[in-house]
Amino acid sequence: MTWTLAIDTATVVCVGLSNGNDTWRARLDDSRAHAEQLTPLLNQVCAEAGITLRELDRIAVGVGPGPFTGLRVGVVTGLTLASLGRVPVTGVSSLDVVARQYVTSSEPPTGEFVAALDARRKELYWSHHRADGSRSGEPQVSTYDQLPDLPVTGPGALVHPGGITVVGPTALDAGVLARDLDLLPDSGTEPLYLRKPDAEVPVARKSTVLQPRLGLRRRP
Amino acid sequence: MNDVAVMNDVAVTNDVVGSTGPLVLGIESSCDETGVGIVRGNTLLANEVASSVDQHVRFGGVVPEVASRAHLEAMVPTLERACAAADVDLSELDGIAVTAGPGLMGALVVGLSSAKALASYLGKALYGVNHLVGHVAVDLLDHGDLPTPCVALLVSGGHTQLLLVGDIATDITEIGSTIDDAAGEAYDKVARLLDLSYPGGPIIDRLAAEGDPKAIRFPRGLTARHDLERHRFDFSFSGLKTAVARWVETERRDGREVPVADVCASFQEAVCDVLTAKTVDAALEHGVKHVLIGGGVAANSRLRSLLEERTASAGLQLRRPRPGLCTDNGAMIAAVGTQVIKAGLRPSSMDIGANSGLPVSTVLV
Ligand SMILES: [Zn+2]
């Protein structure tokens, strides 16, 4: 038996586990609690399956695209566990996971489709897929009106009411990532940032947020 | 502290204060340094640091997103280097300590997440600790148990604080802090207006050695009598920075060449004068005999010599960790870990979060 642990924090907190026969999954629908809840959730999933983290044979991490801070929580957790267990770690586009969910769902696609995640700022992260789930081209970030005129699956499909046809699952399932890792393309373990950090304004070096004191201005 | 503790497989060792002390791995990622240190009692076994400072130079300050990306890249390699350097069996660890705050949120969660994975995998206790306390605790790795009570002056690009340390694990009070810029920040800003490189501290210190500290009388923030009533132990460097800017501007406007070394020396004198005077005053006011200095600016030569001079004449003992331990690192976090374990404090819950504004009085989350 090969135990595969899957972690995906591109959206909410998602954990999956598979031994080739059975699959376990857990999701916490909180997009702001990755650092708090990921480790408790993966401990919980392993406990349900009756194994410890030392018994894992390999690790899969969703590398987004997604909000950067949450994404890094999942990736660094996967990298750390892989290093400790001296087991391989594979990064997979979270959009490919969403596409795979649709393909293996009870109502699979009959033609091309788009997998999408919420990119905030009124934009979507998306990729273009064939009916078998394989991806054509690289993941993109754009406003939803720039999407190809195709049905949309995944959490991003729910963001903009109207204008798009919603198909398939709309929540990420890391169980599918654990179960079907061998069928998904390796995207490397660096998060799919898609946006550059350069536009940001630097803060003070080693800035720590000051406690509000004496009614004076608070450093941004 | 969370009421519901999620601590799967965590073995809390009680018998840890042996002849050698607790064995702790510490992780730091609050700003632009990724650090992993391993400490046994007061002995430093490993201290690996990867800095992203070079990536921030062109911005003239730390860009949080750039720092966070660098932490993710450096985290596991730094961890692996520290484990190899310490050459200890990780199953013998008494705990994993990690910076829970204060710091940059996106940066903090990288170290915190890695620490949680380590603690869960190894079945060890997790201790989310205060970064600022690390700057104090690190001195015990150089000079043994801390003399308490003591007054600690923390100065870096992000901190300018005066702390009263009763007990390192349980009793730390902030008695003063900057009300605007941190001292290191003022160095960066003055360096920028003199067209010097970033970070500003080392280069200003070097140029100041060739200048006259009495050439220009720059203001000493919050030292006037009416300020001392309310801000006796607080600092302000914003006015100083503006005064330097105005002075340099006037010289340039009038076509005079700016005497860079004299400006550096006079600016540095103003910073160090206030820092040392208030530190000594705080120690005397609180009746403590020991003064400790930490943070990146603690490596500044003038601050060091002036503080040595003034503490000596006030009959105070001064302690300063070696410069390599003054800047952010993982060993300082491990050192806090040994102290909270020795104090018998309860480990952190596995569902703690990072707190960018963690108050210094909260040593352990
Ligand atoms: Zn610091």
Q: Does B98 touch chain A (CB under 8 A)?
A: no
- Do the chains contact at B61 and A202, CB–CB below 8 Å? yes
Query: Would you state the pLDDT for residue A215?
Result: 29
* Residues of chain B numbered 34-63 and touching chain A (CB < 8 Å): 56, 59-63
pLDDT at A162: 72
Q: B114-123, pLDDT tens digit by residue?
A: 999 999 999 9
Which chain B positions have a beta carbon within 8 Å of A76's beta carbon?
A: 71-72, 75-76, 110, 113-114, 117
B355, closest residue in chain A (CA to CA): A209
pLDDT, average across residues B40-52: 96
Question: Whole-number mean pLDDT of chain B?
Answer: 92
Neighbours of ion ligand 1 (CB under 5 A): B 328
Provide mean pLDDT across the span B312-332.
95
Reported ipTM: the value is 0.91
- Per-residue pLDDT, A196: 77
Q: Does B211 touch chain A (CB under 8 A)?
A: no
Note the pLDDT tens digit of each residue in B221-243: 999 989 888 999 999 999 999 99
Q: Check CB contact under 8 Å for A69 and B182.
A: no
In the predicted model, is pLDDT for residue B207 greater than 90?
yes
> Is A64 in CB contact (< 8 Å) with chain B?
no
Is A28 at the interface with chain B, CB within 8 A? no
Cα of B142 from ligand 1 centre, angstroms: 18
The reply to whether residue A213 touches residue B177, judged by beta carbons under 8 angstroms, is yes
- Residue with the bigger pLDDT between B321 and B11: it is B321
Quote the CA–CA distance of A195 and A70 in Å, as a whole number: 15
Contact B117 A39 (CB under 8 A): yes
For an interface test with B, which of A45, A203, A206, A218 has the most B Cβ atoms less than 10 Å from its Cβ? A206
Q: pLDDT tens-digit profile of B11-28?
A: 444 444 444 899 999 999
Could you state, in chain order, the average pLDDT of each consecutive group of 10 residues for chain A (220 residues)?
A: 97 97 96 95 98 98 96 98 98 98 97 96 94 96 92 91 87 98 97 77 44 32
* Contact call for A68 and B68, based on CB within 8 A: yes
CA of B283 relative to ligand 1 center, distance in Å: 22
Q: Judge: B117–A206 Cβ closer than 8 Å, yes or no.
A: no
pLDDT digits (tens, 9 = 90+) for B278-307: 999 999 999 999 999 999 899 899 999 999
Kindly report the backbone phi and psi dihedral angles of residue B67, in degrees, each rounded to the nearest multiple of 5, phi listed first.
-65, -45
Put simply, the answer to whether B120 touches A79 (Cβ < 8 Å) is no
User: Given this model, what pLDDT does residue A201 score?
Assistant: 54
Cα–ligand 1 centroid distance for B6 (angstroms): 29
Query: What is the SS3 string spanning chain B?
Result: CCCCCCCCCCCCCCCCCCCCCCEEEEEECCCCEEEEEEEECCEEEEEEEEECHHHHHHHCCECHHHHHHHHHHHHHHHHHHHHHHHCCCHHHCCEEEEEEECCCHHHHHHHHHHHHHHHHHHCCCEEEEEHHHHHHHCCHHHHCCCCCCEEEEEECCCCEEEEEEEECCCEEEEEEEECCCCHHHHHHHHHHHCCCCCCHHHHHHHHHCCCCCCCCCCCCCCCCHHHHHHHCCCECCHHHHHHHHHHHHHHHHCCCCCCHHHHHHHHHHHHHHHHHHHHHHHHHHCCCCEEEEECHHHHCHHHHHHHHHHHHHCCCEEECCCHHHHCCCHHHHHHHHHHHHHCCCCCCCCCCCCCCCCCCCCCEC
Query: Would the CB atoms of A73 and B110 count as touching at under 8 Å?
Result: yes
Q: Chain A within 8 Å of B124 (Cβ-Cβ)?
A: no
Question: B59: distance to nearest CA of chain A, Å?
Answer: 6
Model pLDDT, residue B158: 84
Ligand 1 center to residue B60 CA distance, Å?
Answer: 18
Nearest by CB to residue A69, choosing from B6, B90, B105, is B105
Residue of A nearest to B5 (CA): A40
**pLDDT, tens digit, for every residue of A1-27?**
899 999 999 999 999 999 999 999 999
pLDDT, position A209: 34
Tell me the whole-structure pTM to 2 decimals: 0.91
